[in-house]
Amino acid sequence: MSTRTSEAGPAQDTGTVVCAVRGLTKTYPAARGRRGAPSAPAVRATDDVRLDIRRGEIFGLLGPNGAGKSTLVRQLTGLLRPDAGTVEILGHDIVRHPDRAARLLAYLGQESTALDELTVSLAAETTGRLRGLPLKDARAERDAVIEELGLGPIAARPLKKISGGQRRLACFAAALVGERPLLVLDEPTTGMDPVARRAVWAAVDRRRAERGTTVLLVTHNVIEAETVLDRVAVVDRGRVIACDTPAGLKQQVASEVRVELVWREAAPTGLAEVDALREHAVEAGRRWSLRLAPDEARTAVATLTGGPAFDHLDDFSLATPSLEDVYLALGGSRSDVKGLVKA
Ligand SMILES: Nc1ncnc2c1ncn2[C@@H]1O[C@H](COP(=O)(O)OP(=O)(O)OP(=O)(O)O)[C@@H](O)[C@H]1O
């Protein structure tokens, strides 16, 4: 699944907002330390968060440990009451009526011990029954999802007796039974091998394409985020510090290209084109690293490879910024990113 196909996904309807969040704020109170243990200060885990997630979109929350992603998701899913702000999912006020969330969304949290005693097959069937499916339908959906995710060989085994990655996939399977229009997935592919990951993203994409399912995904994995997400909100210290498509974020934050030059021996200083680059270069032995605007990088490489400097070059590379570069840049200079919030 590529970002491009995701962005142009047929089921994505830019007009319909499935989940609207306004001013969402939550402070965990300070805890007094007992018996000489240090006390913990109050933590503002979400701070005036505003988001609009649209129908058929795969929307990501990206941010470092402790940024407030899980707290935000737990408020969206009706599991945690915010101090202030509103959450509206498909027209329902989830802060006032948290009980309605279960009918509107499927939530796969980080911990899923509740199903541990059940077999893979029974976990899927039970979830369907809890969501109100008649037995026959719950079983039919169970069988379909087990087949779809390749869980057949372990379907009869209890969750507590399969591997971590298999358990994650089984819980994901259960979350899909008794379809909901919004899927909220907190780090769904943690611990999974590439085959299982691919099965998860294929299942997500299929539901989005066929049914317009909307997906809210919490992730640390910037590389995965880059390939599967339509839009991403970068969360840091409880605030959304940037929100855009992965491509848009990359464009806005890291408009430079990294040029790496490795000389055969010493750099051929004295050549005008080499001397001109030297002032931008970070030198480490035979290696020069430069951050240049795309046009400058293209010109530099063309000049170096088309002239006498070429004979002195051992290797060179041009790298476009990744979402990881953006993520690091955002985390490193919070004051630079205020203008990035688009949603
Ligand atoms: N029950 C709690 N009581 C007090 N503080 C909490 C509680 N849960 C989380 N926090 C604090 O709130 C902040 C946000 O935590 P949260 O779990 O939402 O972050 P996260 O982005 O999901 O992190 P991770 O990526 O590690 O899962 C952190 O500083 C955390 O220590």
Q: Please state the separation of Cα 68 from the chain's center in Å.
A: 14
Output the residue whose Cα is nearest ligand 1's atom 2: 28
Q: Which residue has the higher pLDDT, 27 or 64?
A: 27
The CATH number corresponding to 256-320 among 1.25.10, 3.40.50, 3.10.450, 3.30.70 equals 3.30.70
Tens-place pLDDT, residues 149-163: 999 999 999 999 999
Mutate to test the pocket of ligand 1, among 26, 39, 47, 71 (most ligand atoms within 8 A of CB): 71
CA distance 126 to 116: 12
Is the alpha carbon torsion for 210, 216, 219, 225 positive or negative? Answer: positive
Segment 74-84 shows an average pLDDT of: 95
Q: How remote is the CA of residue 188 from the centroid of ligand 1, in Å?
A: 18
Give span(s): CATH 3.40.50.300, the chain.
Answer: 3-251
Task: Point out the ligand 1 atom lying closest to the alpha carbon of residue 70.
Answer: 22
191: left (phi over 0), alpha (psi -120 to 50) or beta: left
Q: How remote is the CA of residue 285 from the centroid of ligand 1, in Å?
A: 43
The CATH number corresponding to 3-251 among 3.40.50.300, 2.60.40.1080, 3.40.50.1220, 3.20.20.10 equals 3.40.50.300
Q: Write down the pLDDT at residue 322.
A: 65
Task: Point out the ligand 1 atom lying closest to the alpha carbon of residue 110.
Answer: 27
ipTM of the complex: 0.97
Question: Which residue matches tokens 């968060």?
Answer: 49
Residue ranges around ligand 1 (CB below 6 Å): 28, 43, 45, 63, 65-71
CA distance 224 to 80: 28
Tokens of 303: 């000049």
Tens-place pLDDT, residues 243-300: 999 888 877 655 677 788 999 988 998 999 999 999 888 888 899 988 788 888 888 8
Its pTM stands at 0.76
Q: How remote is the CA of residue 1 from the centroid of ligand 1, in Å?
A: 31
Give span(s): CATH 3.30.70, the chain.
Answer: 256-320
Q: How remote is the CA of residue 263 from the centroid of ligand 1, in Å?
A: 48
Q: How remote is the CA of residue 38 from the centroid of ligand 1, in Å?
A: 18
Q: Write down the pLDDT at residue 216.
A: 96
Residue 342 is classified by DSSP as -
Instruction: Write out the DSSP string of 15-52.
Output: EEEEEEEEEEEEEEPPBPPSTTPPPB--EEEEEEEEEE
Tens-place pLDDT, residues 41-63: 889 999 999 999 999 999 999 88
Q: How confident is the model at residue 146 (pLDDT cuts 50, 70, 90)?
A: very high
